[in-house]
């Protein structure tokens, strides 16, 4: 289990992380999602040991990675977003070089490298020079490089950025395969839909703090719940309004171009009951649509609208 406890990091007077706490269960494929400047890269650099926190702890299976540098190096496999300046090396030579930094040499290193290149689907590229690789191939090689010492935790910053749909699909397959092989994976992204496709768990970060963390289902449920239900009725508008007003799950209600816009705190079953209530009272409902969730709408909910009570349109 990876535990971040009250992590703080400032750049000069700018606070990038402020008491960030987070628990990532063993075997999770965890996506850290947030807008530009939220603190994702900073958190990832701290966990991978590239930078030290000003305060706070990073524990992996109760070992303090901030204090125990050697354990940190063994535990974490950091996948950089670029290969570095090694253009005159072949893929195989590049892997041999990184194997040697972990004390792996000779036959054992060569065997390990062959297995890893096979795992990331790059056996046929082993004699390619690095500058001959596509972005997707470079990304896979970075993953292979990070796996050289068989770490329990793999960390990647924005791994899908700049990849075409096919390369993204291959990356997803690779990460899910690593994850089902027992590795805990942490990746960052600013695109919620991208992360929700790949990950088992999500944490949303903003302003250097975790706003919410949980399984993909839990988070998407909450994100979706932040969007209004659009309801169009063909008759009995006044009855519809009374029913909506009296429903305890309705948080905000307004009318927009003939649609009732209903901000609703209930879950799917509550939505179904609301629809049933309208129909039972002879209201003809022609549309009843919950917009798909977006990270933006969720931010609005948690930052601006949490105390808002029901607002009724002037038209009624
Ligand atoms: N070296 C630095 N010096 C000063 N401020 C920095 C530095 N690196 C990051 N910051 C600031 O710290 C905050 C967090 O940055 P960070 O790069 O961790 O965010 P991020 O979520 O990864 O953003 P992005 O998605 O844009 O990469 C931002 O406000 C950023 O401007």
203 shares a domain with 167:
yes
Cα of 264 vs centre of ligand 1, distance in Å, is 35
Which atom of ligand 1 is closest in space to residue 208's alpha carbon?
Answer: 14
Ligand 1 centroid distance, CA of 154 (Å) = 21
- Which pLDDT does position 293 carry in this prediction? 60
Pocket test for ligand 1, best of 7, 15, 16, 34 (most atoms within 8 A of CB): 16
**What CA–CA distance (Å, rounded) separates 152 from 178?**
10
**Does 193 share its domain with 76?**
yes
- What's the distance, CA 43 to chain centroid? 13
The closest-lying atom of ligand 1 relative to the alpha carbon of residue 44 is 18
- Tell me how far the alpha carbon of residue 9 lies from the centroid of ligand 1, in angstroms: 11
Mean pLDDT of 276-299: 82
> What mean pLDDT do residues 282-295 have?
82
CB count, 10 Å around CB of 173? 12
- Measured in angstroms, how far is the CA atom of residue 77 from the centroid of ligand 1? 22
Tokens of 117: 């290149």
The span from the CA of 160 to the CA of 165, in Å, is 9
Q: Which of 214, 235, 260 is the last residue of a domain?
A: 214
Percent of the chain with pLDDT strictly greater than 70: 91
The torsion angle over the Cα atoms of residues 139, 145, 150 and 152, rounded to 10 degrees, is: -40
- 248 CB less than 6 Å from ligand 1? no
Question: Best substitution site from 39, 189, 206 to test ligand 1's pocket, by max atoms within 8 Å of Cβ?
Answer: 39
Distance between CA atoms of residues 292 and 290, nearest Å: 6
Q: What is the pLDDT of residue 254?
A: 87
Residue 107 near ligand 1, beta carbon < 6 Å: no
C-beta separation of 32 from 210 below 8 A:
no
Q: Token pair 């297995």 is at which residue?
A: 115
Answer yes or no: is the C-beta of 62 below 6 A from any ligand 1 atom.
no
Q: Could you tell me the distance, in angstroms and rounded to a whole number, from the CA of residue 147 to the centre of ligand 1?
A: 27
pLDDT per position as a tens digit, 22-75: 999 999 999 998 888 899 999 999 999 999 999 999 999 999 999 998 888 899
pLDDT in tens, 245-257: 999 988 888 887 7
Residues 106 and 163 in one domain: yes
Assess whether the C-beta atom of 13 lies below 6 angstroms from ligand 1.
no
Asked if 102 and 201 sit in the same domain, the reply is: yes
Q: Are residues 193 and 292 in the same domain?
A: no
Does residue 16 have its Cβ closer than 6 Å to ligand 1? Answer: yes
| CA distance to 144, 270, 310, per residue, from 261 (Å) | 49, 16, 11
Enter the tokens of residue 205. Answer: 């970060």
Alpha-carbon distances, residue 53 vs 48, 67, 231 (angstroms)? 11, 11, 49
* Residue that is last in its domain, among 214, 236, 254: 214
Q: Same domain for 151 and 108? A: yes
Compute the distance from residue 102 Cα to the ligand 1 centre, in Å: 30
CB 55, CB 7: distance < 8 Å:
yes
**237 domain residue, yes or no:** yes
- In 3-state terms, what secondary structure has residue 207? coil
pLDDT tens for each residue of 168-192: 888 889 999 999 999 999 999 887 7
The Cα 140–Cα 143 span in angstroms is: 5
Split into its structural domains, the chain has a count of: 2
d(CA 75, CA 305): 41
Query: Which residues lie below 8 Å from residue 196, measured CB to CB, with a gap of 6+?
Result: 31, 202, 216, 219, 220
Residue of minimum CA distance from atom 31 in ligand 1:
37
Domain boundary pick from 189, 214, 239: 214
Name the 3-class secondary structure at 227.
Answer: coil
Other C-beta atoms lying within 10 Å of the C-beta of residue 231: 23
Q: How many CB atoms lie within 10 A of CB 60?
A: 23
Whether 106 and 160 share a structural domain: yes
Do 258 and 197 belong to one domain? Answer: no
Helix (H) or strand (E) holding 73: helix 69-75
Ligand 1 centroid–CA 38 distance in Å is 7
Residue 205 in this model has a pLDDT that exceeds 80: yes
Q: Which residues contact 261 (CB under 8 A, 6 or more apart)?
A: 228, 229, 230, 252, 253, 254, 255
Provide the pLDDT for residue 292. Answer: 66
157 lies in the same domain as 234: no
Q: What is the mean pLDDT of the chain?
A: 86
Under the banding of pLDDT at 50, 70 and 90, the label for residue 309 is: very low
Provide the domain limits for residue 253.
226-303
- Whether the ipTM is more than 0.85: the answer is yes
Do 100 and 173 have their domain in common? yes
Whether residue 147 sits in one domain with residue 34: yes
- Within a 10 A sphere around the Cβ of 235, how many other Cβ atoms? 11
Residues with Cβ within 8 Å of 314's Cβ and at least 6 positions away in sequence, in order, are none
């Amino acid at each position: 289990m990876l535990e971040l406890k009250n992590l703080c990091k400032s750049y000069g007077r700018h606070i990038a992380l402020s008491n960030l706490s987070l628990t990532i269960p063993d075997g999770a494929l965890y996506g850290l999602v947030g807008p530009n400047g939220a603190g994702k890269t900073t958190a990832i650099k701290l966990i991978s040991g590239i930078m030290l926190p000003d305060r706070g702890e990073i524990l992996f299976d109760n070992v303090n990675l901030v204090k125990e540098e050697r354990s940190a190096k063994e535990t974490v496999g950091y996948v950089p977003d670029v290969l570095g300046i090694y253009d005159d090396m072949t893929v195989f030579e590049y892997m041999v070089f990184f194997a040697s930094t972990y004390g792996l040499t000779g036959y054992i290193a060569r065997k390990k490298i062959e297995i890893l290149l096979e795992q990331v689907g790059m056996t046929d590229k082993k004699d390619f020079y690095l500058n001959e690789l596509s972005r997707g191939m470079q990304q896979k090689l970075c993953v292979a490089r990070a796996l050289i010492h068989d770490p329990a935790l793999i960390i990647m910053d924005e791994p899908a950025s700049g990849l075409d749909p096919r390369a993204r699909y291959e990356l997803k397959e690779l990460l899910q395969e690593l994850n089902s092989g027992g590795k805990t994976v942490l990746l960052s992204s600013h695109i919620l839909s991208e992360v929700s496709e790949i990950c088992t768990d999500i944490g949303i970060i903003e302003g250097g703090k975790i706003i919410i963390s949980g399984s993909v289902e839990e988070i998407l449920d909450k994100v979706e719940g932040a969007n209004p239900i659009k309801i169009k009725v063909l008759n009995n508008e006044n009855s519809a309004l009374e029913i909506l007003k009296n429903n305890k799950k309705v948080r905000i209600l307004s009318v927009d171009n003939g649609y009732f816009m209903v901000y609703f705190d209930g879950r799917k079953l509550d939505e179904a009951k609301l629809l049933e209530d309208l129909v039972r009272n002879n209201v003809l409902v022609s549309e009843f649509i919950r917009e798909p969730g977006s990270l933006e709408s969720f931010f609005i909910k948690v930052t601006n609208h949490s105390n808002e009570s029901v607002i009724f349109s002037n038209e009624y």
